[in-house]
Amino acid sequence: MNKLKVFSLAFVILVSLSRVANAEAVLLASDDFVGITFWLIAMGLLAATAFFFIERSSVPSAWKTSVTVAGLITGIAFINYMYMRGVWVQTGDTPTVYRYVDWLITVPLQMIEFYLILVAAGLAISSKIFWKLLIGTLIMLLGGYAGEIGWVTPGLGFVVGMAGGIYIIFEIFRGESSIIATKNESIKSAFGALRLIVVVGWSIYPIGYIFGLLTPMIGL
Amino acid sequence: MNKLKVFSLAFVILVSLSRVANAEAVLLASDDFVGITFWLIAMGLLAATAFFFIERSSVPSAWKTSVTVAGLITGIAFINYMYMRGVWVQTGDTPTVYRYVDWLITVPLQMIEFYLILVAAGLAISSKIFWKLLIGTLIMLLGGYAGEIGWVTPGLGFVVGMAGGIYIIFEIFRGESSIIATKNESIKSAFGALRLIVVVGWSIYPIGYIFGLLTPMIGL
Amino acid sequence: MNKLKVFSLAFVILVSLSRVANAEAVLLASDDFVGITFWLIAMGLLAATAFFFIERSSVPSAWKTSVTVAGLITGIAFINYMYMRGVWVQTGDTPTVYRYVDWLITVPLQMIEFYLILVAAGLAISSKIFWKLLIGTLIMLLGGYAGEIGWVTPGLGFVVGMAGGIYIIFEIFRGESSIIATKNESIKSAFGALRLIVVVGWSIYPIGYIFGLLTPMIGL
Amino acid sequence: MNKLKVFSLAFVILVSLSRVANAEAVLLASDDFVGITFWLIAMGLLAATAFFFIERSSVPSAWKTSVTVAGLITGIAFINYMYMRGVWVQTGDTPTVYRYVDWLITVPLQMIEFYLILVAAGLAISSKIFWKLLIGTLIMLLGGYAGEIGWVTPGLGFVVGMAGGIYIIFEIFRGESSIIATKNESIKSAFGALRLIVVVGWSIYPIGYIFGLLTPMIGL
Amino acid sequence: MNKLKVFSLAFVILVSLSRVANAEAVLLASDDFVGITFWLIAMGLLAATAFFFIERSSVPSAWKTSVTVAGLITGIAFINYMYMRGVWVQTGDTPTVYRYVDWLITVPLQMIEFYLILVAAGLAISSKIFWKLLIGTLIMLLGGYAGEIGWVTPGLGFVVGMAGGIYIIFEIFRGESSIIATKNESIKSAFGALRLIVVVGWSIYPIGYIFGLLTPMIGL
């Protein structure tokens, strides 16, 4: 199980970084550092993708699908980061559309990851959990997107998006899946780690949103 | 068989999406969303391709060829979507030719997929079914294409194309292959799922065709 | 052996198509369709390459090398088709040079394929057969090429090229390898299928040559 | 264990080369040779990456993760060298930013490599060693970077960077990990080899720094 | 061992071709054929690389590393040929620098190949042989390069380069490794084949050098 810890660790670091980076891209003004951040994360994501796809052959077979999905998440994120970086270098703009396209693919895959970890541990789990997490995610992302591109006011988009995000956090901390996860010691810690990424990593998203979109509105 | 369900699910979602997307590309006027749809689907298809090719090593050996073919379908579709997206970004036009090239490769592969699922389940099946499905597909696609590029009138192209499509739907719902598929419980549900994609996904195709080509002709 | 039949089938279809396509590229005047044909075949060759390289792990070990070589043939043909298509799109010209480069690599590999199928079946076979097929191939290709680029008159190039082609056909229908192939029932049919591709597929080559190069000379 | 020696050898040579090359890129004035060096090292790194990823399947399973990480190090370095070479060819400038991005990913991975070799050998080892090496690395790199881009004076950057570097060298020669490594004969030599790369390879870094940044300041 | 013979054969042909091609690139004046040669060899090298990397899984495990290294040689040569071809098409010049970069990576790998074949056969062999072959190679290449770019007179470069080449030929025909190789029948023939490539393939190199650099000097 040692390998699984390394794997979880790498996963936690990379996904967190990926969230932070998006936020920084909004917060930071200095050109250079946004670009470097994109490049550093892209390289890290590529390394993680290669790591997951190659090491997959060495993990116990119940965990193989989780590792494949982890590789898909980092791989898709890698491609989108390369595009974001390209747009950044050419236009000096953080491309909202690529960020959300990235999230629309990778965030649901993270929810599948939660689900697969419970399944891999042999825990009885209803597929309802998967659908709850997926729908919460879509509300969070579509709410935020509608606010960012001006379909609804930034304030309304923020409220809708946050509702989805808070629902997911409730589900994984107090909901059905969190109760199931406590039945198994080793899963409890893996589940706890993933939970931490979501809270820490995603808490940066609303902060970036507030500073980038809401603050300018109230004249700050 | 749990993995096979996930696999079927992913397959159903992705292929349906791919059909819907083509229709939307015709129906929607807002630039942005056609482009986003192309990009989202392309990324999803890439993830699905990687998933099928990597997870192939973990499915029971009778199913391996089905999974390979699933990966080929999503892989070829991915490449064609990248080209379609490129053409869209440069010209603001949905490229008819790439859509049909995509279909001419992937739709026959879907028919092979129907056939392989029956074979994988160890059901005695004549290769005549494969040829029936293939010929129906070609009539459907070539009819539609002839109408779209103006070789025949859109109305005639539509009638010919529909004839091919209806023949396939008849075959998979009431024909020889559907009778064989009922002999085995687990196959029955996989077969039913694939059947559903064909009907739901493809029903969007004639709708897009009607709105895009036939409606303008009668002055709507 | 079911998988092997599918494999042979795919191989027959693709290689035949690839021969036909070259001929069509010469015969057809309508821009569009030459381009579509290049693209369709390129996609089909790519799918076939992925299929062979992936399914290789599932065939009996005596057949593995044959499948690898089949993948090399379709893979090299794929790359050359992409180049031919690029040249076609830019210049509206079918590039003679890429067609022959493609053939100079893939046709000898097809001859190796004949040889490997006999070896895989455990038939005693002298390596002389391999050299006979290889030399016949080179004469056929170099003769045709010399005629097409104007080193010798098209008529002379045709005669020399045909001599090489007829020699190969004689060898595989009446020569040593055809006699060996009859010793084993399952090989007989695989060998017969490959023989058919060569005769049908290659018969299109001289027809294209006659219409493209010889007919204009005699004023037709 | 013969294969492991070859592997270590290749690793030592390539990583050393990679360090030397960076230094040379600073020291040498003749255009040509900087470019050739970039290209040579890039090709060598690509070959090493392919070697590690392919040969991974043949090493004992305890060593597989080490080999994967070795491949990630050379693979990421390969990509960054291709970019550095591109920048060099276009601008005649060695791009500081890509060099440090390369190091920020590959140097921590080298520290993980030290750790994994001890783990693979079955030695009890606290994860504290990993964190010590990682933090030392970050201090070394960020100190140097701050000096090179002018955030702090080159002299201060040099002192801070050196502090981190010397701490790592102390740790691997006299610290906890070096003591553990002596418990096992075969590890002792592998560990010794890696240690040698760090000292020889990295000693070139401060020399290049002194000649490129500090010497001009004191009027040499 | 049948597969090994095919492998050796393919290796011999390709490496020889690769040497010949370089020479032709110097000797031939007709644009077209230099380009075709680059393209043909590049495709052949790509096919060989795929062949080695894929078939590696089917050879006995003692030979796996040899096959990997063979794939690295052809793979690196493939990439350099693509660049050479690009430079040729754009400038009509054979790029000296890429030829030598190619050789600086692939020729030492060929020397490693000699060494690995002896090791794979289980023959006791000192690593001194490896170093002798490597140093001879470097002298040969650096001597030739110095002459070609005008660091030393072409005549001096030729003498130094030849000294290195002759030393290697002496070593593999009469030296320690050739004596060891005679101890095992099957190795003797593999070793003999590789020896033949070196002598035939490399003899073309000095001939090209003489015609391209030395002859013009003495007014021929």
Q: How many CB atoms lie within 10 A of CB C194?
A: 19
How sure is the predictor about D18, in pLDDT bands with cuts at 50, 70 and 90?
Answer: very low
Prediction pTM value: 0.77
Q: Which residues contact D139 (CB under 8 A, 6 or more apart)?
A: D160, D161, D163, D164, D167
Mean pLDDT of B138-156: 79
Position D129 pLDDT exceeds 70: yes
How sure is the predictor about D44, in pLDDT bands with cuts at 50, 70 and 90?
Answer: confident
At B53-95, the pLDDT tens digits run 998 888 888 778 888 888 888 888 888 887 777 776 666 666 6
On chain C, the residues whose CB falls within 8 A of the CB of E50 are: 53, 68, 71-72, 75
Q: From CA B120, how far away is CA B63, in angstroms rounded?
A: 6
Q: How many CB atoms lie within 10 A of CB B164?
A: 19
At E91-104, the pLDDT tens digits run 666 666 777 777 77
Q: Is B97 on the interface with C (CB under 8 A)?
A: yes
CA distances from B220 to A164, B22, B211, B216 (A): 41, 21, 9, 5
Mean pLDDT of D88-109: 72
pLDDT score recorded for residue A30: 35
pLDDT score recorded for residue E200: 61
At A146-169, the pLDDT tens digits run 877 777 787 888 888 888 888 888
The answer for D 32-71 residues in CB contact with E (under 8 A) is 32, 36, 39-40, 43-44, 46-47, 50-51, 54-55, 57-58
Q: Do B43 and A72 make contact, defined as CB atoms within 8 angstroms?
A: no
Average pLDDT, chain C: 70
Segments of chain C scoring below 50 in pLDDT: 1, 9, 12-31, 219-220
Phi then psi dihedrals of residue D167, to 5 deg: -60, -45
Structure-token match 């057969």, residue found:
C129
Amino acid of residue E206 = P
Q: Which residues contact E103 (CB under 8 A, 6 or more apart)?
A: E141
Mean pLDDT of A167-196: 71
pLDDT score recorded for residue A128: 76
Q: Which of C3, C6, C47 sits opposite B105 (nearest CB)?
A: C47
How sure is the predictor about B216, in pLDDT bands with cuts at 50, 70 and 90?
Answer: low
Comparing E52 with D11, the larger pLDDT belongs to E52
Q: Is D109 on the interface with A (CB under 8 A)?
A: yes
How sure is the predictor about D43, in pLDDT bands with cuts at 50, 70 and 90?
Answer: confident
On chain E, the residues whose CB falls within 8 A of the CB of C105 are: 40, 43-44, 47
Phi then psi dihedrals of residue D92, to 5 deg: 70, 25
On chain D, the residues whose CB falls within 8 A of the CB of E87 are: none
CA distances from B69 to B107, B180, B196, C16, D148 (A): 11, 21, 19, 21, 53
> Residue D26 has what DSSP assignment?
H
Question: By percentage, how much of chain B surpasses pLDDT 90?
Answer: 1
Position D130 pLDDT exceeds 60: yes
At A91-110, the pLDDT tens digits run 666 666 777 777 777 777 87
> Residue E149 has what DSSP assignment?
T
Q: From CA E23, how far away is CA D36, in angstroms rounded?
A: 22
On chain D, the residues whose CB falls within 8 A of the CB of A39 are: 101
At A29-77, the pLDDT tens digits run 334 566 777 778 788 888 888 988 998 888 888 778 888 888 888 888 8
Dump the DSSP string for chain C: -HHHHHHHHHHHHHHHHHHHHHHHHHH---HHHHHHHHHHHHHHHHHHHHHHHHHGGGS-GGGHHHHHHHHHHHHHHHHHHHHHHHHHHHHS---HHHHHHHHHHHHHHHHHHHHHHHHHTT----THHHHHHHHHHHHHHHHHHHHHTTSS-HHHHHHHHHHHHHHHHHHHHHSHHHHHHTTSHHHHHHHHHHHHHHHHHHHHHHHHHIIIIIHHHTT-
Q: From CA A203, how far away is CA A198, in angstroms rounded?
A: 8
On chain C, the residues whose CB falls within 8 A of the CB of E42 are: none
CA distances from E128 to A24, A136, E176, E197 (A): 55, 66, 10, 22
Mean pLDDT of D194-215: 62
Mean pLDDT of D101-128: 74
pLDDT score recorded for residue D115: 76
pLDDT score recorded for residue D158: 82
pLDDT score recorded for residue B136: 83
pLDDT score recorded for residue D196: 67
Q: Which of D32, D43, D55 sits opposite E76 (nearest CB)?
A: D43
At E31-69, the pLDDT tens digits run 456 677 777 888 888 888 898 899 888 888 877 888 888
How sure is the predictor about A5, in pLDDT bands with cuts at 50, 70 and 90?
Answer: low
On chain A, the residues whose CB falls within 8 A of the CB of D68 are: 50-51, 54-55
Comparing D180 with D16, the larger pLDDT belongs to D180
The complex's ipTM? 0.71
- Lowest-pLDDT range of A92-96, B19-23, E127-131, E188-192: B19-23
Torsion of CA C7, C12, C15, C17, to 10 degrees: -120
Q: Do C101 and E43 make contact, defined as CB atoms within 8 angstroms?
A: yes
Q: Which chains touch C (3 or more CB pairs under 8 A)?
A: B, E
Q: How far is C186 from chain B (nearest CA, A)?
A: 19
| Residue E144 token pair | 């030739």
* Cβ pair C109, C141 in contact under 8 A: no
pLDDT score recorded for residue D69: 86
Nearest of E194, E150, E154, E153 to residue E171 by alpha carbon: E194
Average pLDDT, chain D: 70
Question: By percentage, how much of chain A surpasses pLDDT 70?
Answer: 55
Question: By percentage, how much of chain E surpasses pLDDT 90?
Answer: 1
How many helices (H) and strands (E) chain B has is answered by 9, 0
Q: Mutate which of B39, B52, B78 to test chain A, going by most A C-beta atoms within 10 A? A: B39
Q: How far is D187 from chain A (nearest CA, A)?
A: 20
pLDDT score recorded for residue B220: 45
Q: Is E109 on the interface with D (CB under 8 A)?
A: yes
Q: Which of C2, C3, C36 sits opposite B101 (nearest CB)?
A: C36
Amino acid of residue B108 = P
| Residue A104 token pair | 């629309």
Q: Do D68 and A55 make contact, defined as CB atoms within 8 angstroms?
A: yes
Closest residue in D to A44 (Cα–Cα): D105
Position D49 pLDDT exceeds 80: yes
| Residue C58 token pair | 């599932």
Position A12 pLDDT exceeds 60: no
pLDDT score recorded for residue C29: 33
Q: From CA E116, how far away is CA E149, in angstroms rounded?
A: 34
Distance of CA E96 to the CA centre of its chain: 16
Q: Which of A51, A57, A58 sits opposite D72 (nearest CB)?
A: A51
Chains C+A touching (3+ CB pairs under 8 Å): no
- Lowest-pLDDT range of A181-185, A201-205, B67-71, E179-183: A201-205
Comparing C191 with A140, the larger pLDDT belongs to A140
Q: Which of E2, E32, E50 sits opposite C72 (nearest CB)?
A: E50
